[in-house]
Structure 1
Amino acid sequence: MLITLFLTFLVSSAFAKKDTALPRLNDTKAAEAFIDSAEVVVIGFLEGEESHGYKELVAAAERVESVPVAICTVKEVWADYKLSSDTITIFRKADNHQDNLVVADAKKLDADGLVNFITVNEIRYITEYNQVSAVGLFNSEVKTHLLLFANRGTKEFTELKEQLRALAPEFTGKFLFVLINGAVKSNSRSLGYFGIKSQDLPRVGIYDGSSDMKWLLPVGEISTEGVREFCQSFLRGELKDVKQAGAEPKTEL
């Protein structure tokens, strides 16, 4: 009898664990708190465990551990995010944006596709540039990028990355802060576009996608206040008449 009860408990526990694999958000307050809990989060606005996309999202969440994932089955909450049907949504603070993947519109919905959806759109306060992140960066409505060029492995790399990450929230919706690792050969084209080389780093630049113009912060110590003023100078329109980076050898702001 005791053995039967023990086995029943184990089975029940296993199913309970499976059902609660992802946090449940039962009201708008819980959803808001979850969205505010990290730089990037994903919420599956789905009717329930039997919905198409639920199992796929659970599988994807196990593979993308850096992004918190939750489920919301309460349609009153969906309305607060302007959603009316099953949708998998990624929320990001860097540009105050939500990207919606409407389940009914997806030609193919599997774990691999959801991992790709999350990874491509995983824009953070400072995002490292690569072939995958480039898609999300250039698809963002924020077209101006503050670029940190630094060589991974150097003392400056980690220090400056954290320094700019702390500054980035001040410019939410105005700039995307992007880290470009100069030690990666494939990034040499980005450096060349600014007229700099790996041995010149670290450097800080601004790229404005709307005008296709670029500028470099002058050579010297990279400080939080200096970068802040560089960004504000752009926003005030003071860089428009300044010679662009890469226009000629050793061009400076």
Structure 2
Amino acid sequence: MLWTLVFSLLLTCASANDIVLPLLNNTKAVEAFAESAEVVLVGFLEGEASLGYKELLAAAKTVGSVPAALCSVKEVWADYSVSTDTITLFRKADNHQENLVVANAEKLDTDGLVNFITVNEVRYITEYDQVTAVGLFNSGVKTHLVLFANRSSEDYNELKEKLGALAPEFMGKFLFVLINGALKSNSRSLGYFGLKSEDLPRVGIYDGNSDMKWLLPEGDITVERVRDFCQSFQRGELKETKQAGETKAKTEL
């Protein structure tokens, strides 16, 4: 009987906690929350009664992997260039802040917010598909380090973890993108690099500013080789390699 009562109280507390977002009362708290995960949501809303609060809570529950919080202190809003009720997504991969102004939303509902999160959920390493492509190509970071790998391969998860761990070193410089070569829908992306599924895994760089791409020469995909590949691009050495007549590492779109 006692255990049943305690269990019921725990369930009641858990349910109560489920319907309240953490409160952020100053800029330091918002900064700390934004640093707590790769992607977070902050509702810059006047309170729990504000339009958007319930939808934000429901969307955050649906997505699950994106923490959400509430900031009702308008003095803090100004630090983030927010002047009216706004739901903001912060992401580390490119130091980006994506604002959804509640008053400007054509239709504010849970599904719409879930789509807003999914489209803009760019992470240290983002798996490419038709939805994530929107956030990737709308980012201010136009250079992509691309890992082509077949999901069914034994080293798929290991490669993903390696590059995911390396990505923070190039935050704001590259977006790290994973393309599953086993999917037919990704065959065109492989074709851009002159690759087929059986050629994988391979690593490449795509630069949206110049509309050009380069392939890391065949060999073991190690953190050191990928780091050097990225740094060589930053130093302009990949372009110099082509000028010297060594064209294997580069293919133009």
Pair in the same fold by TM > 0.5: yes
The residue number in structure 2 matching 1:86 is 85
* Worse-matched range after superposition: 46-55 or 198-207: 46-55
Q: Matches of 1:234 and 1:121 in 2, distance apart?
A: 26
> Which amino acid in the other structure matches residue 116 of structure 2?
F
Give the percent of matched residue pairs that are identical in Structure 1 and Structure 2.
73
Q: Matches of 1:15 and 1:198 in 2, distance apart?
A: 47
> CA offsets per residue over residues 33-83 of structure 1, 9 Å max, x none?
111110000000000111111111111111110111111111121111111
C-alpha deviation, 1:133, in angstroms:
0.3
The residue number in structure 1 matching 2:46 is 47
Please tell me whether the aligned partners of residues 182 and 201 of structure 1 are also in contact (alpha carbons under 8 angstroms).
Answer: yes
Over the residues paired in the alignment, what is the CA RMSD in angstroms? 2.1
The residue number in structure 2 matching 1:27 is 26
The residue number in structure 1 matching 2:58 is 59
The residue number in structure 1 matching 2:110 is 111
- Determine whether 1:128 maps to 2:113: no
C-alpha deviation, 1:252, in angstroms:
3.5
> Which amino acid in the other structure matches residue 34 of structure 1?
F
C-alpha deviation, 1:251, in angstroms:
4.1
The residue number in structure 2 matching 1:247 is none
Please tell me whether the aligned partners of residues 206 and 214 of structure 1 are also in contact (alpha carbons under 8 angstroms).
Answer: yes
> CA offsets per residue over residues 204-241 of structure 1, 9 Å max, x none?
00000011100000000011111111111111111224
Please tell me whether the aligned partners of residues 64 and 115 of structure 1 are also in contact (alpha carbons under 8 angstroms).
Answer: yes
The residue number in structure 1 matching 2:70 is 71
Q: Matches of 2:169 and 2:204 in 1, distance apart?
A: 17
C-alpha deviation, 1:156, in angstroms:
1.6
- Determine whether 1:194 maps to 2:172: no
The residue number in structure 1 matching 2:95 is 96
Please tell me whether the aligned partners of residues 19 and 57 of structure 2 are also in contact (alpha carbons under 8 angstroms).
Answer: no
Q: Matches of 2:110 and 2:29 in 1, distance apart?
A: 26
The residue number in structure 1 matching 2:174 is 175
Q: Number of aligned residue pairs: give it.
A: 239
Q: Matches of 1:198 and 1:117 in 2, distance apart?
A: 32
The residue number in structure 1 matching 2:222 is 223
3-state secondary structure, aligned to 1:239: helix
> Which amino acid in the other structure matches residue 228 of structure 1?
R
> Which amino acid in the other structure matches residue 88 of structure 1?
I
C-alpha deviation, 1:149, in angstroms:
0.3
3-state secondary structure, aligned to 1:98: strand
Task: In structure 1, list runs of 5 or more residues that go unmatched.
Answer: 1-5, 245-249
3-state secondary structure, aligned to 1:44: strand
Q: Matches of 1:59 and 1:123 in 2, distance apart?
A: 21
> Which amino acid in the other structure matches residue 188 of structure 2?
R
> Which amino acid in the other structure matches residue 163 of structure 1?
K
Please tell me whether the aligned partners of residues 46 and 73 of structure 1 are also in contact (alpha carbons under 8 angstroms).
Answer: yes
The residue number in structure 1 matching 2:160 is 161
Q: Matches of 2:125 and 2:225 in 1, distance apart?
A: 17
Task: In structure 2, list runs of 5 or more residues that go unmatched.
Answer: none
C-alpha deviation, 1:154, in angstroms:
1.4
> Which amino acid in the other structure matches residue 115 of structure 2?
N
Q: Matches of 2:108 and 2:37 in 1, distance apart?
A: 25
